[in-house]
Chain A
Amino acid sequence: MGTKILIVDDSAFMRMTLKNILSKEGYEIAGEAENAEQAVAKYTETQPNLVTMDIIMPGENGIKAVKEIMKVNASAQIVMVSAMGQEALIVEAMQAGAKNFIIKPFQPEKVIEAVRKVLKP
């Protein structure tokens, strides 16, 4: 079984970009979600090894999703993916249980680096 990653972002464009970067690296994509509600549902359903989580999304934001996922699995591995200018929110997300973060715009290496760091025990 490979390492499964769930991608959460409201922009299909961003999801595609992340998906390509991650699957090229050999990760399996567990699924995609475009809002917090879907993210929690997909997490419960697919039990991925890692989640990449956008913050600003329609409806509830990504931090709320982090909190909900942590309730489902206290050792969930979540990497925040957020655009520049949202540093305060990233701090909040880390406090809620996220393990790492990536700032958009990102370079593929940065994504891989951040994901690897979290997955390494």
Chain B
Amino acid sequence: MTEDMSRYKDMFISEATEYLQNLNKSLLSLEKNPENLELLNEIFRLAHTMKGMAATMGYQKITTVAHQMEDVLDRLRQQELKVAPEIIETLFKALDVLEPLVREIVSGEDKKVDINEIIVDLRMIMEQKQPAAASPAKETEAGTPPDEKKTVSKEGEKKRAQNSVRINIEHLDNLMNLVGELVINKARLFQIGANYKLGALNESLTQLERITGSLQEEVLKTRMIPVSHIFDRYPRVVRDLAKLKNKEINFEIEGSDIELDRLIVDEINDPLIHLIRNSVDHGIETPQERVKNGKSEAGYVKLSARREKGYVRIELTDDGKGMDPQEIAEKAIEKGMMTREKLVLLTEQERLMLICEPGFSTAAEISDTSGRGVGMDVVKTKVEAFNGSVTIETQKGKGSTFIIKLPLTLAIIQSLMVKVAEEVYAIPLSNITEINSFTPDFIRTIEKREVIKIREEILPLLSLREVFDLPSRQYGEEICVVTVEVGEKRLGLVVDSIYSREEIVIKTLGGILKRTKGISGATILGDGRVVLIVDITGIM
């Protein structure tokens, strides 16, 4: 090829990835409606186009596999072969080979993916002359009702946005950074305007404020992608695992058009897969067990996403065996993670959350499905790293629901500026539940820890001076307490005074500062001061 094709690579990768996802989705539907000719045509077309693209780029392995798939699919749609479970299985296997091959192009390293086995499997199907020994019940060759046919092709078309451009994520990150700088500089100008009392400046700054606001919103929007990006993969995950475990599961997805920051979407994939695997593997009982307990044979798992003021709420519900907080607590004691004395103080929710503590699930019970990769502790850590939270609702015998709340975006947050020993710190507003001031005589000491009683609830106190090793001081007339919350945990932060409420652009700390305890990042104020952002999750 004389033309340098490398610059087409990105385009190929993004389109091929999309095609693979659609292939997975369509194959899953075909498995449920093996007679649907329209679906078969769609799958054939996807494999065919993929082959053409790969051949143009000179990707031999992908071309070969896609070509063999296309041959099999062609036979199927010509009705020379019958759609049999073994064939679908083989086609799924072919997709599993194509996926790493595409990823290989992304990473640029040769992962030595072996395609021989799948080629042989596909050829074997081609050699079956007669319709495979399918069950006689499937003899009726009738086509699908016309209305069903329409939905298949229409759906595919609608999904493809007509007026869209593909942009490298790097450009969007740069754009976001620049907008961040703009916001900071705008704030500086405001400061100057205020200091020198320049009326004319303030007027035009108000205009600028509106524009930067809209600009920021637009840029944020460009970073948003629908969660379908990852949700679409899950039916396949559920299907494969259910098959392996001999379970029957109806899996439902809702709200896959909800949008989140691209970075968050990518990062929550692993935790979600882990939760889904948990539900299928540990949550849902075997069909026999279910029938014995008076439940339907097939289990039900539902994944849903929806918007909630400034947050996205993702829920995974199953109607499986559920969990017992008491049993979990007993197990934690057994493992030495918890003493019986401490246990008494824990709420039901806190007992449930023990399963998210590192070391709760041990090697002895890690099955090859749920135990791999991330554990519940990683799920929790990952979600909280994004200022999100995990909660569990469960009822023994009825099922469990895992609720993940995530912020829409990471880059810009509302935050409260507080003063501690002449220094200013930022506390993310999303963590704050209330701000109170008390006279010192309200403070009590329990187990050497200072606490305060708010509305009959005990709130442990923590002085930010203590956290950041600043000189401690005697409490004055009044103490200012900012109540923060992560998940179900609450803590009262003692600060010297409240400074202001501002929209800040998060700058991550790099190098040796990266793992500083109690600090999650920094920001620059209007007057040019650098302010550290308190890592609420970290100090809990």
What is the distance, in angstroms, from A113's C-beta to the closest C-beta of chain B? 13
Interfacial chain B residues near A17, Cβ < 8 Å? 8, 56
> What mask results when residues 49 to 67 of chain B are scored 1 for a CB within 8 Å of chain A, else 0?
1011101111000010001
Interface size of B by Cβ–Cβ distance < 8 Å?
29
A34/B53 in contact, CB under 8 A: no
Nearest-neighbor residue (CB-CB) of B164 within chain A: A12
A-B contact count (CB 8 A): 67
A85/B11 in contact, CB under 8 A: no
The answer for the CA separation of A109 and B16 in the assembled complex, in Å, is 25
B52/A12 in contact, CB under 8 A: no
The answer for the CA separation of A34 and B2 in the assembled complex, in Å, is 27
Interface size of A by Cβ–Cβ distance < 8 Å?
26
> What mask results when residues 1 to 28 of chain B are scored 1 for a CB within 8 Å of chain A, else 0?
1110000100110011000000000000
What is the distance, in angstroms, from B160's C-beta to the closest C-beta of chain A? 7
What is the distance, in angstroms, from A32's C-beta to the closest C-beta of chain B? 10
Nearest-neighbor residue (CB-CB) of A15 within chain B: B11
Nearest-neighbor residue (CB-CB) of B50 within chain A: A11
Which A62-121 residues have a C-beta within 8 angstroms of B? 82-86, 104-109
Interfacial chain B residues near A104, Cβ < 8 Å? 52, 55-56
8 Å CB contact of A21 from B3, B45, B52: B3
Interfacial chain B residues near A105, Cβ < 8 Å? 52, 55-58, 63
Interface assignment of B157: CB less than 8 Å from any CB of chain A: yes
Q: Known: A13-B15, A35-B157, A58-B157. Is A83-B8 also a contact (CB below 8 A)?
A: no
Interface centre among B16, B55, B58, B166 (most CB of A within 10 A): B55
What is the distance, in angstroms, from B151's C-beta to the closest C-beta of chain A? 13
A10/B70 in contact, CB under 8 A: no
The answer for the CA separation of A58 and B152 in the assembled complex, in Å, is 10
The answer for the CA separation of A85 and B73 in the assembled complex, in Å, is 13
Interface assignment of B42: CB less than 8 Å from any CB of chain A: yes
B153/A59 in contact, CB under 8 A: yes
Which A1-31 residues have a C-beta within 8 angstroms of B? 10-14, 16-17, 20-21
Interface centre among A56, A83, A107 (most CB of B within 10 A): A83
A-B contact pairs, 7 of them (CB 8 A): A10-B49, A11-B52, A56-B49, A58-B153, A104-B52, A104-B56, A105-B55
Q: Which residues of B contact A (CB under 8 A)?
A: 1-3, 8, 11-12, 15-16, 42, 44-45, 48-49, 51-53, 55-58, 63, 67, 70-71, 153, 156-157, 160, 166
Given contacts A12-B15, A17-B56, A105-B57, 11 further A-B contacts (CB under 8 A): A16-B8, A17-B8, A56-B49, A57-B45, A58-B156, A83-B51, A83-B52, A104-B52, A104-B55, A107-B2, A108-B3
